Structure 1
Amino acid sequence: MFAEQNDETTTTELLSTGNAAYPTEYYDYNFSEGYVYLCDNEDFIQFGAKFVPFFYYLVFLLSLLGNGPVLYIIFKFEKLTTVTNIFILNLVLSDLVFASCLPFWASYHSSEWIFGSTMCKLMSSIYFIGFYSSIMFLTLMTFDRYLAVVHAVIAAKRRRIVYAFISSAVVWGISFGATIKEFVLYDIREDSQRGTVCEETGYPADLMEKFKLVGYFQQIVLFFLLPLIVVLYCYTRIVITLIKTKMKEKCRAVKLIFLIVVAFFLCWTPYNVVIFLKALQILKSSTSVNCSNDLDLDYALYVTRNIAYLYFCINPVFYTFVGKKFQGHATKLFTKWTSFRDQSQSSHSGRTTDQRSPQTIYE
């Protein structure tokens, strides 16, 4: 796949020399004579290396702090007895799956890849598994609300626990299947300048270009535009039905899911727009890439991707501050924790008094 640089490519590096924390679409490819060259964006790489580790650790922490309590509340108070709870549980799990890969990429940004070939493939896939499953569960939850509100009679017969578990299994299956490309393409290799790197490697330039385009359009069409159409249609029908029937008891549940969906698309739309521009760039540049014109898109991709990461921190907020049930459960949880803390402090104070009282008596 790779060849030595010749004198005419002094402003480029081989693809393999970029210490690009996942994904490598931060970096631009120059297809020339069957080989893949990486545009020399050293300033851009340094820009990311200073900020990314801290940001990834922060998102990971916030995701745990946000999704952890929701997960606990579901199992402690709600249980998996309703279709909605099963879908919310899977949505939280998809957020945690995504967040679990961030410490690895933060470490990679700080130095080099130290986790081996298998983990390189796994962590490269986990990002997309979390992303794909998240948007599919959001779409599924929206469709489920549509059935419950617009087709209440049919939903009463068909919205069973089995339906929720089967639907969730299908979503996870599709998400895993959609990431096979990342698992195959990503691997480690030794770089003379940056040590061990984890990146797309080992295939001819034309095949890599096709895989990249497939990945872009798969994400844009299957995991963005299609869900967007479904969500817009479902919520339009839901709003019309609520206005006609005045089903006020349904408004809070609809509001919760609606806010989750809006947050997702606000966070992920800019990233998908940039992805689309990157795809057009590849289609227009069938034989080469103008590196000087690509840097702006690189920065845009970098910024919009990190905005998208914030979604996994924002998501749990809606469960606790919008959902009435979750508000009640969170209050109970906080009250119990406060009571336990007070009792612990009181017990500790009592033990301290008992230990010191003999000394006081005998003095």
Structure 2
Amino acid sequence: MATLVIVNDSFGNVSIYNEVMYDDDDPASCHHVVPPAHQRRLIPAVFALIFLFGAVGNSLVLLVLCRRGPGRRTVASTYMVNLALSDLLFLLCLPFWAVQYALDYHWPFGAVMCKACSAALTLNLYASIFFITCMSADRYLAIVQPLRSQSCRRLCRARVVSGVAWLLAGCATVPALALRDTVHLGQDVTACVLRYPSDGWVTGLALSKTVVGFLLPLVVIVTCYCGIGRHLLAATTTTGGTGAVADARGDPDKASSGGGGGHSSGGANNVDHVLRMVVAVVLAFFLCWFPFHTVTLLDVLHHQGALRGCWVRRAVETLLPFTICLGFSNSAVNPFLYCFVGNHFREQLGGRWGSRWGSKESEAKAPARCPLHSHRFCAC
């Protein structure tokens, strides 16, 4: 038979749809799993840490990359800026989800914020992965095929690709806007839920999220970075490859058109550093999102009858909040992984702060000057 139940959805909130009860399921043990008390304290604390580190890291990325002159903007920095914007948009809504967990799924912010926060979350899920994929493909072209890619690696094309990525992510957000709503569940609890019109929506949206938002990007990312790794290993036997290495390390200002010019020992050290970063990029993406999509797929298989038993539902509802935390942490990891590991990015950030600090010291020691000089760093 089919019964109406409240379950965790794929973003750690609650959803309403018809859950199928099979003959080998025990109805007495298949009720909704009550979140343990430590979860109501632990999940908001983890969300707070993700918000803190992610907001600071992505803000610094935007501070450095957006204040560059027009002549220093690159294809790589364009994707980095859009990735940071996507992560920041999501992080601004993360405190609302933390409050919901702390209040045991009670949503006190109204229906409009329910839809808005859900849309921002879904938008980030797709947009961030799309831009990570774009960055991987761009680095592959810049390092492995620098001469052939000069005609297509242009700022105007990067902006068009970014616009298409935002558009696709926006289209994926439409179901969240349409289906998400607030529902009064009794006992003074008003939940922000997904109201699925039919069981087919549950399977369709979950599979599309896993395929489009994880599997296909993962294939592209792994393919690109495996190609980069093979190319860099081969380059150690010929030239230093410092230009390509600089771009792979997240230094978008340095040229990546060709290889030569480096000393063999320095080139080998740089290649070792880049290969470690390549492994870190793939592992970070995989480890952050694989558990979440695995639990989501487990829920779909149980809903379709491929996996039976109440243990499946209990496992999904218990593990899902923690896999969500792991997936959300990718928004805090991104700026450190893609930007701060680059020496040139750190030099720019340190140089900017150093110039500000040095200017303040010189102004303090200098005699009275025109007040306009004190604003020369703000007027960009």
Classify the TM-score, shorter chain: 0.7 to 0.9
2:299 to 268, 278, 284: 278
Return the offset for 1:22.
Answer: 4.8
Label 1:129 to 1:198 Cα distance change in 2 as closer, same or farther (>3 A). Answer: same
Counterpart residue type for residue 89 of structure 1: V
After superposition, the C-alpha distances for 1:36-85 in whole angstroms (9 at most, x for unaligned) are xx93212x254432222222222112111111111101122465721111
Label 1:19 to 1:226 Cα distance change in 2 as closer, same or farther (>3 A). Answer: closer
Label 1:158 to 1:320 Cα distance change in 2 as closer, same or farther (>3 A). Answer: closer
Structure 1 alignment gaps of length 5 or more? 1-7, 348-363
**Local SS of the residue matching 1:200:** strand
1:50 to 41, 45, 49: 41
Label 1:344 to 1:190 Cα distance change in 2 as closer, same or farther (>3 A). Answer: farther
Counterparts of 1:3-152 in structure 2, within 5 Å, are: 14-15=5-6, 22-24=11-13, 30-31=19-20, 39-42=31-34, 44=35, 46-77=37-68, 81-111=73-103, 112-152=106-146
| Counterpart residue number, 1:327 | 346
After superposition, the C-alpha distances for 1:97-121 in whole angstroms (9 at most, x for unaligned) are 2212111112223333232212211
Whole-angstrom CA distance in 1 between matches of 2:303 and 2:10: 21
Whole-angstrom CA distance in 1 between matches of 2:336 and 2:364: 30
Label 1:271 to 1:140 Cα distance change in 2 as closer, same or farther (>3 A). Answer: same
Could you tell me the TM-score, scaled by structure 2's length? 0.75
Label 1:195 to 1:146 Cα distance change in 2 as closer, same or farther (>3 A). Answer: same
Whole-angstrom CA distance in 1 between matches of 2:292 and 2:11: 15
**Local SS of the residue matching 2:108:** coil
Aligned length, in residue pairs: 326
Alignment RMSD: 3.3
Whole-angstrom CA distance in 1 between matches of 2:143 and 2:73: 19
Counterpart residue type for residue 143 of structure 1: A
**Local SS of the residue matching 1:179:** helix
Label 1:223 to 1:186 Cα distance change in 2 as closer, same or farther (>3 A). Answer: same
Larger helix proportion, structure 1 or 2?
A: 1
After superposition, the C-alpha distances for 1:222-242 in whole angstroms (9 at most, x for unaligned) are 121111211222222223333
Label 1:293 to 1:161 Cα distance change in 2 as closer, same or farther (>3 A). Answer: closer
Return the offset for 1:131.
Answer: 1.3
Structure 2 alignment gaps of length 5 or more? 23-29, 251-276, 367-380
Rg (Cα) greater in structure: 1
Counterparts of 1:317-356 in structure 2, within 5 Å, are: 317-339=336-358
Whole-angstrom CA distance in 2 between matches of 1:104 and 1:58: 14
Whole-angstrom CA distance in 1 between matches of 2:332 and 2:139: 24
What's the % identity of the aligned pairs?
Answer: 28
| Counterpart residue number, 1:267 | 288
2:333 corresponds to 1:314: yes
* Contact 2:44–2:99 (Cα < 8 Å) also in 1: yes
**Local SS of the residue matching 1:39:** coil
**Local SS of the residue matching 2:151:** helix
* Contact 1:132–1:223 (Cα < 8 Å) also in 2: yes
Label 1:138 to 1:160 Cα distance change in 2 as closer, same or farther (>3 A). Answer: same
Whole-angstrom CA distance in 2 between matches of 1:224 and 1:292: 26
Whole-angstrom CA distance in 2 between matches of 1:21 and 1:305: 8
Label 1:275 to 1:252 Cα distance change in 2 as closer, same or farther (>3 A). Answer: farther
Return the offset for 1:320.
Answer: 4.9
After superposition, the C-alpha distances for 1:210-267 in whole angstroms (9 at most, x for unaligned) are 2121122112211211112112222222233334444232123224473444322221
Whole-angstrom CA distance in 1 between matches of 2:39 and 2:363: 46
Return the offset for 1:323.
Answer: 0.8
* Contact 2:15–2:194 (Cα < 8 Å) also in 1: no
